A and B are shown apart, each in its own frame.
Chain A
Amino acid sequence: MSSGSYMSRRNTPLFIYAILCLAFLYVPVMFLPLFSFNDSQYIAFPIKGFTLRWYEEMWHSGPMHQALWNSIKVAAVSACLSTLLGIFAAKAFTRFRMPGSKPVIGIIMLPLVIPEIILGTSLLILVNNIGLGLSLISVTMGHMLLSVPFAVAVLISRFEGFDKSIEEASADLGENAWGTFRRITLPLVFPGVLSSFLLCFVISFDEFIIAFFLAGSEPTLPVFMYSQMRFPQRLPGVLAMGAAILMVSFIVISFAEWVRRRGSYGGQADTGL
């Protein structure tokens, strides 16, 4: 009999099943980096040879840099504001007795299930009618709509994670509401704040439909990449960009998750005085 417990015994069929699932999920994505190193304009097998040409091309493309910079601006601003709103909402939901707080949480979470194409169309009508027009500001606001539910969800679980009497103890020891928030609440929810920010950033950075509807003459990176699809000779450059974004997203999300899980109270050294 093999060593180990009942739960850790080897099960070959299940193992194969797991491998197949993972392959189904990730093999398509792997084509992107694979062809980004392929020394051919055509996205087809067989692979010709290894090259960094497409990465170099990407590096020197002015419009692409502009699109990247647009995306970063939109993502940073919408992630900041979403996280800020998330902090307010999470604090309110977890710390105050409010009538009807459950339905209100439901309404905040609603954009998660509204199809983005509907949101995009509605926002397009809205921004044109209120005179905001197509701009990065409109995109930023649209992205906030998408990322606020995630921010609220992440932060509520963080706020719920610590004893309410810790904040009361701070008030009891003479700190006013702001002092308590700064010295107690914020340090304790900080992992949640950071992971909310990074999550919102990635949501905005990757988002296409709303940006496509609202960006006007200032494309974000996904919109720019889509526009490049019309030119076959530029496609490998887009693949290189895509591969780079994939890598950065993966690193950022892993980091956010790590921060959220680590979540303990170590780390920040506050001397208190």
Chain B
Amino acid sequence: MTDTSAFIRIDRVSKDFGHFRAVDRVAVDIARGEFFSLLGASGCGKTTLLRMLAGFEAPSEGEIYIDGQAMSQVPPHHRPTNMVFQSYAIFPHLDVRSNVAYGLRKEKLPRQEVDQRVHDALAMVKLESYEGRKSTELSGGQRQRVALARALIKRPKVLLLDEPLGALDKKLRDAMQLELRALQQSLGITFVFVTHDQEEALTMSDRIAVMSGGVVRQIATPRELYERPANVEVANFIGQMNFFPGEISGEDGGTAVIQAERIGQVRCRLGELAGGGRSIVVAMRPEKLHVSAENSGRDYAVEGEIRNAAYLGDRSHYYVHVAGSDTPIAVSAQNADNALSDRLQSQAKVWVTWSEEAMVVLPKEDA
């Protein structure tokens, strides 16, 4: 290994199952103590990648380094990683204490120290009084905590989590998100977290790798991922997005003049796309757009008609049709002002307005 800055280095790793390529030349560096998420729809290769980190699958190509050590010859039981399984994989024939102490047997510790560590691990996940409980008597949330304690008692360098919150109900999941994040920060252990839930990934992660079709589409912080997605696929997967395909008709000093569908001529910074193809897509988040009865004097405005409105409690979604197009522009607005939202429910002619910063220019993807 040449570069020592990465704690986990996934170096152009691929995994083939027969003719199916589940993971395709993924290269990711993860720093020590980072909370790193692999995000993607099911079948995108994120779990396969995690299982390669744990040692349950061997890469077909490439190498994984953890703390400078190449992992391809290291079996799962010798890796400095521990995993929290999606199904929790609690040993059903053992009680809570034996489950948590399971991984300590090889370390040949004196009895008191085992007791102490089991106690500490259970305290860490707030299950102090459950030592003697049978594992079959636990609720989903408790099983998840036991799985966590069982992994953490080994003091791993890296904790791997495979959709650990997927089976919990929403309230518990929200609480566990915060708890996991707090736990990770207090322990300083590197977490690699697999999820298909973008909100979960955004809430907890330091950085996120968005995967689809076995390929990493973008690696970025939650804010970057949301505000500056690298491509249409990521933009579409994370949150909601309006897309306006267009052509670059001219450039002047780093700013491009773009002719886009439905929104007409706009001027945008191109950033990394400068010098690329002329076909692009302008993307805008629904909440960066404003809808009002009058043209409210922002940088850009387009007139349309509200055909659909969805009331979501704290906010509403409006679908505004511009003359001559069937694809509506989605606009999200806070319901702070009841008078305004009442007026907008009707099929009124409205103005959609936005400022220059609302726009992100993405490369056009081949269909």
Contacts and interface: CB of A to CB of B under 8 A. Distances in A.
Nearest to B114: A273
Interface stretch (A55-63, A201-209, A263-271): A263-271
Contact of A172 (B82, B93, B111): B82
Contacts, number: 88
Contacts of B101: 272-273
Contacts of A270: 93-94, 98
Interface in B63-84: 75-78, 81-83
A273 B105 contact: yes
Interface in B81-113: 81-83, 85-87, 89-94, 97-99, 101-107, 111
Nearest to B162: A165
Interface residues of A, number: 26
B103 A165 contact: no
A162 B101 CA distance: 21
A133 interface: no
B255 interface: no
B46 interface: no
B103 A173 contact: yes
A184 B81 CA distance: 20
B284 interface: no
Interface in A149-163: 162-163
A168 B85 contact: yes
B219 to A, nearest CB: 26
A123 interface: no
A174 B94 contact: no
Nearest to A271: B98
Nearest to B115: A273
B89 A265 contact: no
Interface in B39-64: 54-56
Contacts of B104: 273
A166 B77 contact: no
B91 A184 contact: yes
A171 interface: yes
B54 A166 contact: no
Contacts of B119: none
B87 A165 contact: yes
Nearest to B160: A172
A242 interface: no
B154 interface: yes
Given A172-B54, A175-B106, A272 B150 contact: no
B136 interface: yes
Interface in A245-272: 264-266, 268, 270-272
A171 B160 CA distance: 14
Nearest to B103: A173
Contact of A168 (B56, B90, B102, B103): B56
B106 A272 contact: no
Nearest to A268: B93
Nearest to A173: B103
A145 to B, nearest CB: 33
B14 to A, nearest CB: 18
A3 interface: no
A33 interface: no
Given A163-B87, A169-B85, A176 B77 contact: yes
A170 interface: yes
A174 B87 contact: no
Most A CB within 10 A of own CB, among B85, B92, B147: B92
A163 B89 contact: yes
A184 B147 CA distance: 16
A173 B102 contact: yes
A110 to B, nearest CB: 28
Contacts of B90: 166
Contacts of A174: 77-78, 103, 105-107, 154
B54 A272 contact: no
A187 interface: yes
A175 B89 CA distance: 15
Contact of A265 (B55, B102, B136): B136
Nearest to A187: B93
A268 B104 CA distance: 20
Contacts of A264: 136
Given A171-B76, A172-B83, A176-B77, 9 more contacts: A168-B89, A169-B85, A170-B102, A171-B56, A172-B77, A172-B151, A175-B102, A175-B106, A184-B91
Closest 6 pairs (CB-CB, A-B) = A272-B98, A173-B103, A169-B89, A265-B92, A165-B89, A265-B93
21 contacts: A162-B92, A163-B87, A165-B86, A166-B91, A168-B54, A169-B85, A169-B150, A171-B77, A172-B76, A173-B82, A173-B103, A173-B150, A174-B77, A187-B93, A188-B92, A264-B136, A265-B136, A266-B93, A266-B134, A270-B93, A273-B111
